[in-house]
């Protein structure tokens, strides 16, 4: 049976645009993009503007794809993306592009099953759910990893992103790494053509997916850990590359990032991290800047903003549901600031 995709427009929070600082501030900075890091960016920008009253930051959480389009159209001073930017995308920016990893996080599988906590999902199971080969919550393959748990004879409703999304990019990249069938089709990207055999609902941004999961019994969907924690939704423990079931959280995220080496172009991916303690879906997320600006005061303000997020912002990353950047990564990002002129 084929199911039609339904677009949900419910938002987990009402605001999509966050303006911090005085409207009379001397320097205005405008950014847009990823919803994945929006909660921590909002906090950072608010605190930054309190400490620098002459600078106002306006950030619109509209999804990585929309943010990159705004950046390409030169309607923003900076963008944010969980999918970084490709070489082809950067080639079209005459001013040059500087990618800076600013925080890191985990993508979790949040679910809505009454009375069921501590759900464990094997790699075969969660890739199968998103391939449409596992359709019922009482499937024997789900039960096998959860002895003693009575699952309902209920359809699995998958909640995915309706917009071009860096979260989708990272999640489908991981599924492609662990499942040859998924890699063949649908593959990975900021948008993908999900199998028609999947009973699916689509919602915009991380907050929209979170809201839809909470409102849909039998639902499961992929969202950023901070959104899941804020919404107090249940999150599954996932089987990692070593065959261990790991719950989302700081320890598993840091273990996943521990062996990542940041190259000169600042793009690094962790499609299937190694290590017994590693949570299997972790990623950096980037702010995107031009290398050349016409306004020197804006350059100074942008560098000041980035430095503030690196020096002060990382201290609150864990409590906001994100992974603090390792010290060597912070050092590398600070060194790259000289490229923004």
How far is residue 61's CA from residue 48's CA, in Å, rounded to a whole number? 18
The structure's pTM equals 0.89
pLDDT band (50, 70, 90) for residue 21: low
**pLDDT, greater one: 14 or 55:** 55
How far is residue 204's CA from residue 11's CA, in Å, rounded to a whole number? 8
Domain boundary among 222, 257, 292: 257
Residues 111 and 253 reside in one and the same domain: yes
In a domain, 82, yes or no: yes
Residues 129 and 247 reside in one and the same domain: yes
Tally: H helices and E strands in the chain: 12, 14
Residues 45 and 77 reside in one and the same domain: yes
What is the domain extent for residue 222? 106-257
- Cβ burial of 176 (10 Å; 0-12, 13-18, 19+) is buried
User: What's the total number of domains in the chain?
Assistant: 2
Residues 210 and 303 reside in one and the same domain: no
Q: How far apart are the first and last CA of the chain?
A: 56
How far is residue 270's CA from residue 114's CA, in Å, rounded to a whole number? 33
Q: Which is it for strands 234-235 and 97-111: parallel, antiparallel or unpaired? A: antiparallel
pLDDT digits (tens, 9 = 90+) for 60-110: 999 999 999 999 999 999 999 999 999 999 999 999 999 999 999 999 999
In a domain, 272, yes or no: no
Residues 199 and 295 reside in one and the same domain: no
Residues 182 and 321 reside in one and the same domain: no
Residues 113 and 168 reside in one and the same domain: yes
Q: Is residue 278's pLDDT more than 50?
A: yes
CATH at residue 328? 3.40.190.10
Residue 166, SS3? helix
In a domain, 295, yes or no: yes
Average pLDDT, the chain: 92
pLDDT digits (tens, 9 = 90+) for 240-261: 999 999 999 999 999 999 888 8
Residues 165 and 80 reside in one and the same domain: no
């Amino acid at each position: 049976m084929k199911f039609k995709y339904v677009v949900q427009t419910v938002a987990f929070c009402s605001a999509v645009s966050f303006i911090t600082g005085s409207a009379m501030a001397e320097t205005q900075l405008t950014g847009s993009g990823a919803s994945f890091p929006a909660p921590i960016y909002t906090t950072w920008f608010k605190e930054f503007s309190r400490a620098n009253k002459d600078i106002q930051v306006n950030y619109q959480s509209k999804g990585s794809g929309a943010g990159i389009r705004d950046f390409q159209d030169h309607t923003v001073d900076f963008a944010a993306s969980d999918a970084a930017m490709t070489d082809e995308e950067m080639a079209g920016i005459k001013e040059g592009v500087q990618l800076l990893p600013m925080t890191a996080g985990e993508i979790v599988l949040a679910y809505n099953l009454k009375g069921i906590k501590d759900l464990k999902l094997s790699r075969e199971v969660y890739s199968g759910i998103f391939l449409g080969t596992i359709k019922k919550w009482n499937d024997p393959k789900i039960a096998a990893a959860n002895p003693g748990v009575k699952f309902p004879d209920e359809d699995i409703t998958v909640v995915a992103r309706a917009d071009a999304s860096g979260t989708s990019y990272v999640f489908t990249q991981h599924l492609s790494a662990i499942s040859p069938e998924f890699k063949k089709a649908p593959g990975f990207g900021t948008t993908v053509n999900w199998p028609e055999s999947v009973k699916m609902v689509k919602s915009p941004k991380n907050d929209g997916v979170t809201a839809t999961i909470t409102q849909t019994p039998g639902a499961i969907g992929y969202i950023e850990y901070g959104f899941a924690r804020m919404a107090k939704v249940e999150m599954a423990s996932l089987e990692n590359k070593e065959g261990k079931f790991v719950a989302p959280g700081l320890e598993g995220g840091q273990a996943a990032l521990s062996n990542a080496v940041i190259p000169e172009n600042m793009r690094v991916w962790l499609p299937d991290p190694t290590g017994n303690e590693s949570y299997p879906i972790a990623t950096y997320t980037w702010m995107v800047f031009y290398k050349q600006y016409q306004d020197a005061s804006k350059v100074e303000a942008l560098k000041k903003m980035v430095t503030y997020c690196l020096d002060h912002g990382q201290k609150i990353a864990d409590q906001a549901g994100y992974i603090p950047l390792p010290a060597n990564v912070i050092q590398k990002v600070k060194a790259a600031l000289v490229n923004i002129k």
